[in-house]
Amino acid sequence: GTVTSGNFSPVLEHGIAPGAGVAAWQRRLEPMQRRVADGCHLTRDPVALVRAAGFEVLRYESRFARGPKPWSYMTEGFAISA
């Protein structure tokens, strides 16, 4: 859909984990992840990407969900288009 000023958008995305050990595994696994998961990245900062796309991030939380740690560090929140 088209994004217009004031649109409210939920955000749910994988992200780079804060711990060095898990982040190292995410970097190792990312090339395979991108091939088998239609370009999905494990090592990006979702909040920075949303802001760079011109959205104001209203609220977010980053945490591990259930599952293997390299794939389960998630950011969820809400943003509004500027």
State pTM to two decimals.
0.82
Helices (H), 1-82: 20-36, 46-52, 69-72
Q: How far apart are CA 73 and CA 48, in angstroms?
A: 16
Query: Is the separation of the CB atoms in 46 and 76 below 8 Å?
Result: no
pLDDT tens digit sequence for 1-54:
455 567 888 999 999 999 999 999 999 999 999 999 998 899 999 999 999 999
